[in-house]
Amino acid sequence: MASAAMQEEQVKLLGFWFSPFVRRVEWALKFKGIEYEYVEEDLTNKSSLLLTSNPVHKTVPVLLHNGNPIVESLVIIEYIDENWKQNPILPQDPHERAKARFWANFIEQKITEAARTALLTQGEQQEKVVKELKEAMEVLEGEAAAKLNDKTLFFGGKNGLGYVDIVLGWICNWAEVIEEVGGFKVLDPQKQPHIHKWMANFVEEPLIKPTLLPKEKMVVYFQMVRQAYLGLAAKK
Amino acid sequence: MTEEVKLFGTWASIFSRRIEVALKLKGVQFEYIEENLSNKSPALLKYNPVHKKIPVLVHNGKPVAESLVILEYIDETWKHNPILPTDPYEKAMARFWAKYIDDKLWPAVTKVLVSKGEEQKGVIEEIQEQLKTLESELKEKKFFGGESLGFVDIAANIIVFLLVAQEALGMEILTEEKFPVLHGWYQRLVDDAVFKECMPPREQHLSSVKVWFGSSTPSK
């Protein structure tokens, strides 16, 4: 029976509320309508559950499904998509799936990683990575211009939200905060009109809107992270 | 339906070699195009405008780029002789380890080739920690994929490059004494009929690594 089977499913997410990687997994779970227990981790005092579930990286997010741990946000999202078949996140066609994965990787390597580095560096090092970030955003704007229009609001196409939207979505809540704290500017509605339109639509989505965090609280936290990191870098 | 499969690669790239292994494991006929990376073909630039890199697989005119993405595409398109496990949890584990290899091991291996002195020592230690981690995943298994080689074994072909590089540059990173489990796995890997057919010719590979990374070249 469907309900008996669902009662046996135990889904737990170990997270940290400032983490965009955790938020992505929550979006994927909510998109599928999956019930889950959320456990907030103190990253300065990691639980033994976190350390045993993710011994290699010791980070969040960790999804525990019936006790089995899955880690790395993109790996978790694909797992969610394959294990729960309703509301597909990735397209069905192999070539479309490959394109979605390609863009998810592009975002991760060229935008997410670069933004993190820009947050944690200064001077020449930061300038270099901010330049690369601007170039990457230009490429992404090209893809957004090609794919999105008044009828197709999201990269998921006619299905609405999809894999690329969920992977990129962090910029809506985090990018401005990182820019303010890091002291640089990459987001530009003039240069990236399609991305900005996408962002405006993304934050209005019913499952996304309640998950957005107040900017002020995020700025305080990331300021602390940046100061701590630059302090460590200066000591080396 | 006539399939048209093309692979753009380079003979020394372990990333394009991954694709050759996968296509051959599936018995897929393909045309191989050797690219000259200092003079990229208009076709490559057309098929991978974002990164302009190999490997690129073109299937009936449609391009797929990024080696792990291509491997998944191949597995989903030609379903016999699966490369990835069918169980979602096992599949997630395979993806995790392939990602670990590409995100952690590969950058460390490229770094060790260009670093010197104390910095190089540090990177060597880092690589050896990573190799220990991989050994703990491999344990008693014949291959990462189990009885036959799979997604993670193909991704771990970086170790082919590591062994050539350490010999070419006189470093000792992965030795039989330090890593008996990985060493055993490696012997089985290069003994596999399909895998060995897809390895870069050893002497050529050794000399090209010496030329690109040898200590006689001026530091960048």
**Which CATH number goes with the domain that contains B25?**
3.40.30.10
**Mean predicted lDDT score pLDDT of chain A:** 95
Task: Please report whether residue B83 resides in a domain.
Answer: no
Question: Is B97 found in the same domain as B68?
Answer: no
Give the domains, in start order, of chain A with CATH numbers. Answer: 4-83 (3.40.30.10), 94-226 (1.20.1050.10)
| pLDDT single digits (tens) A77-97 | 999 999 999 999 999 999 999
CA distance B38 to B36: 6
CA distance A166 to A78: 11
**The domain spanning residue B206 has which CATH number?**
1.20.1050.10
Percent with pLDDT over 70 in chain B: 97
- Pick the residue of A105, A109, A138 with the most B CBs within 10 A to test the interface with B by mutation: A105
* pTM of the entire predicted model: 0.95
Domain count, chain B: 2
Q: φ and ψ at B86, to 5 degrees? A: -85, -30
Q: Which residues are A38's β-sheet partners?
A: A13
Question: Is B135 found in the same domain as B41?
Answer: no
Question: Is B96 found in the same domain as B56?
Answer: no
Question: Is B154 found in the same domain as B64?
Answer: no
Question: Is B99 found in the same domain as B163?
Answer: yes
Q: Which member of B66, B70, B99 has the closest CB to residue A75?
A: B99
- Give A100's contacts in chain B (Cβ within 8 Å): none
A1: confidence class by pLDDT, cuts 50, 70, 90 = very low
Q: Which domain holds residue B162?
A: 88-213
- Pick the residue of A21, A72, A103, A139 with the most B CBs within 10 A to test the interface with B by mutation: A72
A55: confidence class by pLDDT, cuts 50, 70, 90 = very high
B96: closest CA of chain A, how far (Å): 7
Average pLDDT over residues B143-152: 96
Task: Please report whether residue B82 resides in a domain.
Answer: no
Q: Which member of A76, A79, A98 has the closest CB to residue B64?
A: A98
Question: Is B109 found in the same domain as B203?
Answer: yes
B1: confidence class by pLDDT, cuts 50, 70, 90 = low
Question: Is B173 found in the same domain as B140?
Answer: yes
Nearest residue in chain B measured CA to CA from A54: B96
- Give B88's contacts in chain A (Cβ within 8 Å): 79, 82-83
- Number of C-beta neighbours around residue A77 at 10 A: 25
Dihedral over alpha carbons B149, B153, B157, B158 (to 10 degrees): 180
| pLDDT single digits (tens) B174-183 | 999 999 999 9
- Pick the residue of B15, B64, B131 with the most A CBs within 10 A to test the interface with A by mutation: B64
- Give B72's contacts in chain A (Cβ within 8 Å): 97-98, 101
pLDDT for B212 equals 87
Half-sphere exposure (Cβ direction) of A143: Cα atoms closer than 13 Å: 22
pLDDT higher than 80, residue A7: no
